[in-house]
Amino acid sequence: MQTPSNRWLGHGLYLVIMAALIAGIYFSGQKINYTWHWERLWPYVINTEPQDIIAQTDGTAVVSASGQLSITPDYGGAPQVVPDYDKLVARDGDLIFQGDTIARIEGWRFGPIAEGLWVTIEISFLSLIFSILLGVVFGLMRVAHGQVWRNLAVTYVEIIRGTPLLVQIFIVYFFIGTVFDLDRFTAGVAALSIFTGAYVAEIVRGGIQSVPPGQMEAARSLGMNYAQAMAYVVMPQAIKRTLPPLAGQFINLIKDSSLVSVISITDLTKAGREVVSGSFAPFEVWFTVAALYLVVTGGLSWAIQRLEKRLAASD
Amino acid sequence: MTNQAQKQVLIAARDVNKIFENGCHALKNVSLDIHRGEVVVIIGPSGSGKSTFLRTLNQLETISSGHIKIDGIDLVDKNTNINKLREEVGMVFQSFNLFPHKTALGNVMLAPLKVLKRDKAEVEQEAKDLLYRVGLHDRMQSYPSRLSGGQQQRVAIARSLAMKPKALLFDEPTSALDPEMVGEVLDVMKGLAKEGMTMVVVTHEMGFAREVADRVVFMEEGELVLEESPERFFNSEHPRLQRFLGQVL
């Protein structure tokens, strides 16, 4: 049995060990002669630098009385009109060459890491929805009475579980993607959904089979047909039991989504690779990328825990 | 007996055989008529096929040969809508089988709402009346996990009654209960019998059989051995019945 004083001692010891670990990481970082440049990373997450507006042709700058800037090309054609700017660089009548900075615009925009994070969240979310659909359909087929359905479901699950996700992504992108003319994003979502769906199907099957057969019998004896008994009696109980393993599977899905970078989808991982080559700060970038994945997976497991608590009302 | 013979037959089982996939011959040529408003109690040692027989009456168990007619409709006929028939024959299980994700009220309301697609307010009122009738008006919002075994079984009976069945089947309804809770469930069942509900009860409660049954049936090794009124049944000299009663009483 745990006494309260024991528990506080445990927490304290944990803090000491964690502090030691962090100090270890910090000092080993100091020792390897690596210059940390965390500030270099910031523009790749959120860029607050003013953005340059570039002249598209050679010509003459014209600033109207109302302050509107346009470039009149030397060799005819429509003038380049700058609809909005914060700071003027070119002055009225200046000779402008293509590529010159003519004005600047203030404000901020997302850097590649933030955009990659968004792509990762988007891909994970869409794949999560589709994998639930696939998983429920194939999980139900797995326990259906018809042998055809059971065989089909077993085949799907075995093929998908028996091959590496990376290989599946290539097959979906290069073969299925070519046949159906899919763009890389769709192919990535399809591969992740099909992969995760197989695992969800097995989890759903386990959940359904963990509901005592008496529940199905009671529902049927009240006149419900198979579909009604499944929908109103068996599945609500099964879903509750499958939430913890599903949470694990969906966290895996978020992490597995990093593999779609091999088909040139600029997700968080690919953005990280690109930023490393631009910023020369690989350690900082990968620590940041890892932390961002942790935030997404942590958010998901928190949400599922909330759901579990809500469903526990009948326990 | 003459009085009952004139009554209308509600459930008619003829030469029912059940052979399980593993080769076990669970029912051997069982024939039994159950009349409207009658209470039939089936007793027998475990493994005698009495529960299997009960479960064939609403097709939770299919039969290998023979015929079962409910209100003139053949269960074996491929054209029979088995779900429709099950609405008319309720079942109460040994292990209650309440839906754990629904409250007591939710359990009673589910089938009328989803199967009969009836109006919610109306169904709720009826469900409350039913729970009142089984003495659970103060536990309507409780989940099954918060109810005692006896309370759960009473909810289960109310749940079956909500479909307004023509007959109720009881599969050892008190066997999973602590002794002090057997009485409250039997009282509800006695009340139902008095109101004229057709009931087929598999039980080990000899007192209930003696007091409530119109007929008592003894089954052993898949055969229907004896079928008598309670007075004659419990005074029968039948050797197989004597052996069984000697063991349980």
User: Where would I find the beta strands (DSSP E) of chain B?
Assistant: 9-19, 25-35, 39-43, 65-70, 73-74, 89-92, 167-171, 198-202, 215-220, 223-228
Residues of chain B contacting residue A215, judged by C-beta atoms under 8 Å apart: 97, 99
Asked if B90's CB is within 8 angstroms of A221's CB, the reply is yes
| Nearest chain B Cα distance for residue A10, angstroms | 35
Residue at token pair 């080990």:
B204
pLDDT at A1: 60
**In which band, very low, low, confident or very high, does the pLDDT at A190 lie, cut at 50, 70 and 90?**
very high
∠ CA B165-B171-B174, nearest 5°, is: 110
Predicted TM-score (pTM) of the model is 0.81
Given this model, what pLDDT does residue B1 score?
Answer: 43
What band does A3 get if pLDDT is binned at 50, 70 and 90? confident
Lowest mean pLDDT among A24-28, A102-106, B139-143: A102-106
Q: Which residue has the higher pLDDT, A301 or B78?
A: A301
Chain B residue nearest residue A215, CA to CA: B97
A223 and B CB contact within 8 Å: yes
- Chain A, chain B: beta-carbon pairs less than 8 Å apart: 71
Q: A53-107 in CATH: which number?
A: 2.40.50
Q: Between helices A235-256 and A282-311, what is the axis angle to 10°?
A: 180
Instruction: Determine the CATH number of domain A115-270.
Output: 1.10.3720.10
Q: What is the amino acid identity at position B217? A: V
Judge whether A214 is closer than 8 Å to chain B, CB to CB. yes
Instruction: Give me the residues paired with residue A106 across strands.
Output: none
Contact A217/B97, CB-based, under 8 Å?
Answer: yes
Question: Any idea where the domains of chain B sit in the sequence?
Answer: 9-246
Sheet with strand A95-96: strands edge to edge: A80-82, A69-73, A59-63, A95-96
Q: Where are the domains of chain A?
A: 53-107, 115-270
Which helix (H) or strand (E) element contains residue A102?
strand A101-105
**Closest to A314 (Cβ–Cβ): which among B89, B100, B115?**
B100
Chain B interface includes A227 (CB < 8 A): no
Residues of A whose CB is below 8 A from B90: 221-222
Find which of A220, A222, A239 to mutate to test the B interface (most B CBs within 10 Å of its CB): A222
156-175 of A, contacting B, C-beta below 8 A: none
- Say if residue B81 is exposed, middle or buried (CB neighbours under 10 Å; 0-12, 13-18, 19+): exposed
Fold of B9-246: Rossmann fold (3.40.50)
The share of chain A scoring above pLDDT 70, in percent, equals 99
Residue A107, phi then psi, degrees to nearest 5:
105, -175
Q: Write phi, then psi, for A116 (nearest 5 degrees).
A: -65, -40
